[in-house]
């Protein structure tokens, strides 16, 4: 607010300023001299109106206008109040007086709740709410729940309303309502709930009728939990029960009548009685009637094992009564002309009879609560046969020399039923299945696909079937595999210090079993590495550019027979080269030979670092899993050299695009790794200095 000033008296005036926050007023009194008049005096301010008291003040100003605060205070109130000050002006004479009024409006209050909320159903889609207002409101918010405890706002009529019509309801629901008044943005809080109010329930579903003794029990599935009373109607349209719970028992129904039922849900309340549409009709129930002919399936199947034959069927009740008796007729087609009828009691729809091998007709009929049997089922035909027998004929001994196992067996069946399928199992001696071989038809010989392992024990068994009737498994036949190996091959190895590689000669030898192929392997740090395979010549010349240039390299030459049997020859090359060898290209076959007189340095170790942590005076050391191994070489090359690689050849090896090169030296090192660029400096005519390095990597 702006300052309200008094008039000048004695060349001086006073003013009152007010700042309002909520119900708190801050009042300040200011003084100001008239320009051209100075002041230096003491006086007393007197407070009148809605404040009181006095205060001593000292005023000192120059000739220029001076604005200064004389007093400040805070007062909390609502409504309108008046505040005035009076002060006499010494020396110049006169009295100043100023007054101002301040109005603070009281804060807004929450309105009181409406009362008497009620709801009236007009239809499934129209419900009218009425209530009484206890004050004037800006609006009334309407909330609705479907009975799950959660209320949602559906409307907010304005203008101090006392009624609202909800047109968003639907059938098969129940509703509760609450309201709250709103004024100046503040709500009264929700009223107590009005309701429940119901809409027309949905028709029940899954209506079922079942005979229970001399009564019929009707059940149905309701569409909600609050419509739990029902009317029941019989097939003639007569309502036989009203306002009952389910399940409902129809007592004394006509015994000879076929009964069907319909059900409707009903609700009774302040809005009257609401009923759903009638449900679909239930199944038909007759209290007492003979069952229909039984249903028979595939038990027994068209062909079964003679002996204990199982018969099965389904009882087809027409009055919901369970099976109480049955009769089964069995006729041996090739035996007596008389059928054999066997009678049983109880609700179990199966029967077991011991029958010899033959062909048979059979049929069955059942009886429920009615005194008459059902009609006979349709006649079924089946054949009972003796279970086949399988005997393994081959292998006939306990030793086997072939890499594949051939099995011959004998199939017998007393009724001369032909073999239709077979199954063979090859297992290890401890029972692990190696291969299962199956087939169709009358063949009694089969060959397993699995290649047998030399010096290994196996076992085999067989069974066969005729039209799904399987024999028992034959006894296991145990065998030990013993292949005849080929002759041990010959091998010769030598180091070629001109080319920097091993020369290998693998020779096939004659024996009882012929060698069909050979392979050559080199022993490395992680086992044998294949160098060549499928060698079919009598004598085979090979080279190995990865052999150690200094130290021992072991080779394994394996001869293979057609059966898979093998013979092995191991031979060791002892090399003693005094040169350094750098290999690149395919299989490292592009090789450069260098004098072992250069300067050579090796950097090897593990990556390490330290970390410092708060609270620890010294760093903590960490070692990485990564290893580093780098060899640096420097020396001299001739442009033309008969003993070592010439400059151009070394350049060709070093610029080969292969990602990995091979390094070997007289100390026995063999390193696969990343080769650096070749650095060359001309020293004199035909003479160059060089330097390079290789960092060991995975390969």
Residues above pLDDT 90, as percent of the chain: 77
Model confidence at 369, in pLDDT bands (50, 70, 90)?
Answer: confident
For the chain, percent of residues with pLDDT exceeding 70: 99
Name the CATH code of domain 205-286 (choices 2.60.120.10, 1.10.1740.10, 2.60.40.10, 3.40.50.300): 2.60.40.10
Bridging pattern class, strands 399-400 and 433-440:
unpaired
pLDDT in tens, 143-170: 999 978 899 999 999 999 999 999 999 9
Answer whether residue 597 shows pLDDT above 80: no
> Which CATH code is given to the segment(s) 4-104?
2.60.40.10
CATH class of 490-577: mainly beta
- 410-465 pLDDT, tens per residue? 999 999 999 999 999 999 999 999 999 999 999 999 999 998 888 899 999 999 99
C-alpha torsion 294→299→301→306, nearest 10: -120
Choose which CATH entry (3.40.1390.10, 2.60.40.10, 3.40.50.720, 3.90.1150.10) describes domain 389-481: 2.60.40.10
CA distance 20 to 75: 10
- pLDDT digits 0-9 by tens, 389-400: 999 999 998 999
Q: Is the peptide bond before 300 cis (omega within 30 degrees of 0)?
A: yes
What's the rounded Cα separation, in Å, for the pair 438 and 424? Answer: 6
Tell me: pLDDT of 365 over 80.
Answer: yes
Instruction: Say what the pLDDT of residue 695 is.
Output: 93
Q: How confident is the model at residue 286 (pLDDT cuts 50, 70, 90)?
A: confident
Q: For the chain, give every domain's residue range.
A: 4-104, 115-198, 205-286, 309-382, 389-481, 490-577, 588-696
Does pTM surpass 0.75? no
Give, for 339, the enclosing helix (H) or strand (E).
Answer: none
Q: Once rounded to an integer, what is the mean pLDDT over residues 9-31? A: 94
Q: Which of the following CATH numbers is that of domain 309-382: 2.60.40.10, 3.40.50.300, 1.10.357.10, 3.20.20.70?
A: 2.60.40.10
Q: How confident is the model at residue 198 (pLDDT cuts 50, 70, 90)?
A: very high
Here the tokens at position 78 are: 């609502």
Can you tell me the distance from the alpha carbon of 224 to that of 110, in angstroms, rounded to the nearest whole number?
Answer: 40
For 464-516, what is each residue's pLDDT tens digit?
A: 999 999 999 999 999 999 888 899 999 999 999 999 999 999 999 998 889 99
Report pLDDT digits (tens) over 634-650: 989 898 888 888 889 99
Radius of gyration of the chain from Cα atoms?
56
CATH topology of domain 588-696: Elongation Factor Tu (Ef-tu); domain 3 (2.40.30)
- Chain segment 336-363, per-residue pLDDT in tens: 778 899 999 999 999 999 999 999 999 9
Nearest CA to 82 out of 14, 13, 22, 4 is that of 4
Least confident interval from 171-180, 249-258, 465-474, 680-689: 249-258
Model confidence at 248, pLDDT cuts 50, 70, 90, reads very high
Q: In the numeric block, which tokens belong to residue 485?
A: 């190996």
Tokens, residue 347: 């609700």
**pLDDT computed for residue 565 by the predictor:** 83
Whether 309-382 and 205-286 are alike in CATH topology: the answer is yes
Fold held by 115-198 = Immunoglobulin-like (2.60.40)
How, if at all, do strands 399-400 and 477-481 pair?
parallel
Q: What's the confidence (pLDDT) of residue 583?
A: 94
Residue 581 has pLDDT above 80, yes or no: yes
Q: Encoding tokens for residue 71?
A: 């007093």
How big is the chain, counted in residues?
A: 699
Query: pLDDT at residue 201 above 90?
Result: yes
**Distance of alpha carbon 680 from alpha carbon 688, whole angstroms:** 6
Per-residue confidence (pLDDT) for residue 95, from 0 to 100: 96
Compute the mean pLDDT over every residue in the chain, rounded to the nearest whole number: 92
| pLDDT 10s digits, 266-281 | 988 766 899 999 999 9
Q: In whole angstroms, what is the distance from residue 512 CA to residue 205 CA?
A: 87
Q: Which H, E and C letters describe 534-594, residue by residue?
A: EECCCEEEEEECCCCCEEEEEEEEEEECCCCCEEEEEEEEEEECCEEEEEECHHHCEEEEE
| Per-residue buried b or exposed e for 531-563, using 16+ beta carbons within 10 Å of the residue's own CB | bbeebeeeebebebbbbbbbbebbbbbbbbbeb
Question: What's the mean pLDDT in 550-570?
Answer: 92
CA dihedral for 7, 13, 19, 20, sign (positive or negative): negative
Confidence bin at 321 (pLDDT 50/70/90): confident
Which of left, alpha, beta for 468 (phi over 0: left; psi -120 to 50: alpha)?
A: left
Q: Tell whether the model's pLDDT for residue 258 goes beyond 90.
A: no
Q: What is the pLDDT of residues 288-308, one digit of tens each?
A: 888 999 999 889 999 999 999
């Amino acid at each position: 607010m702006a300052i309200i000033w008094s008039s000048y008296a004695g060349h001086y005036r006073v003013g009152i300023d007010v700042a309002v926050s909520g119900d708190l007023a801050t009042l300040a009194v200011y003084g100001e001299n008239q320009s051209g008049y100075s002041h230096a005096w003491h006086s007393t301010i007197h407070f009148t109106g809605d404040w009181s008291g006095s205060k001593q003040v000292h005023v000192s100003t120059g000739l220029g206008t001076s604005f200064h605060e004389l007093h400040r205070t805070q007062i909390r109130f609502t409504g309108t109040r008046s505040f005035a000050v009076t002060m006499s002006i010494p020396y110049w004479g006169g009295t100043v007086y100023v007054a101002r009024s301040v109005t603070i409006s009281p804060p807004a209050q929450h309105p009181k709740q409406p009362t008497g909320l009620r709801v009236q159903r007009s239809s499934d889609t129209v419900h009218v709410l009425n209530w009484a207002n206890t004050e004037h409101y800006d609006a009334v918010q309407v909330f609705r729940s479907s009975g799950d405890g959660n209320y949602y706002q559906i409307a907010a009529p304005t203008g101090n309303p006392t009624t609202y019509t909800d047109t968003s309801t639907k059938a098969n629901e129940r509703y509760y309502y609450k309201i709250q008044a709103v004024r100046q943005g503040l709500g009264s809080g929700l009223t107590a709930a009005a309701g429940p109010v119901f809409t027309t329930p949905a028709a029940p579903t899954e209506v079922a009728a079942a005979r229970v003794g001399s009564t019929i029990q009707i059940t149905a599935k309701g569409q909600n939990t609050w419509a739990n009373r029902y009317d029941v109607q019989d097939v003639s349209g007569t309502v036989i029960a009203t306002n009952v719970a389910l399940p409902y028992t129809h007592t004394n129904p006509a015994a000879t009548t076929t009964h069907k039922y319909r059900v409707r849900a009903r609700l009774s309340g302040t809005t009257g009685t609401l009923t759903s549409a009638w449900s679909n009709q239930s199944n038909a129930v007759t209290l007492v009637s003979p069952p229909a002919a039984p249903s028979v399936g595939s038990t027994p199947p068209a062909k079964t094992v003679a002996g204990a034959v199982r018969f099965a069927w389904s009882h087809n009740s027409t009055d919901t009564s369970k099976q109480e008796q049955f009769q089964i007729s069995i006729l041996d087609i090739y035996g007596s002309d008389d059928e054999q009828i066997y009678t049983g009691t109880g609700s179990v729809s199966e029967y077991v009879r011991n029958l010899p091998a033959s062909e048979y007709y059979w049929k069955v009929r059942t009886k429920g609560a009615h005194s008459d049997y059902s009609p006979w089922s349709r006649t079924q035909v089946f054949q009972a046969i003796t279970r086949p027998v399988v005997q393994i004929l081959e292998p006939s001994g306990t030793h086997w020399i072939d890499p594949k196992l051939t099995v011959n067996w004998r199939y017998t069946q007393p009724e001369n039923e032909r073999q239709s399928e077979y199954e063979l199992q090859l297992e290890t001696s401890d029972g692990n299945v190696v291969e299962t071989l199956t087939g169709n038809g009358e063949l009694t010989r089969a060959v397993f696909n699995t290649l047998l392992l030399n010096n290994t024990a196996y076992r085999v068994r067989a069974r066969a079937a005729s039209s799904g009737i399987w024999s028992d498994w034959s006894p296991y036949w145990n065998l030990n595999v013993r292949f005849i190996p080929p002759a041990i091959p010959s091998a010769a190895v030598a180091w070629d210090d001109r080319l920097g590689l091993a020369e290998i000669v693998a020779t096939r030898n004659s024996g009882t079993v012929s060698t069909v192929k050979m392979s050559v392997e080199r022993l490395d740090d992680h086992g044998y590495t294949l160098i060549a395979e499928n060698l079919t010549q009598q004598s085979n010349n090979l080279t190995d550019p990865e052999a150690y240039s200094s130290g021992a390299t072991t080779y394994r030459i394996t001869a293979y027979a057609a059966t898979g049997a093998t013979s092995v020859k191991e031979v060791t090359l002892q090399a003693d080269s005094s040169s350094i060898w750098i290999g690149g290209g395919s299989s490292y076959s592009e090789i450069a030979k260098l004098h072992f007189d250069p300067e050579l340095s090796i950097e090897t170790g593990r990556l390490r670092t330290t970390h410092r942590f708060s609270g620890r005076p010294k760093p903590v050391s960490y070692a990485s899993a990564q290893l580093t191994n780098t060899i640096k070489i420097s020396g001299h090359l001739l442009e033309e050299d008969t003993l070592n690689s010439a400059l151009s050849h070394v350049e060709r090896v070093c610029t080969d695009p292969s990602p990995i090169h091979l390094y070997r030296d007289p100390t026995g090192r063999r390193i696969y790794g990343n080769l650096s660029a070749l650095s060359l400096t001309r020293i004199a005519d035909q003479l160059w200095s060089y330097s390079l390095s290789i960092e060991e990597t995975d390969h």
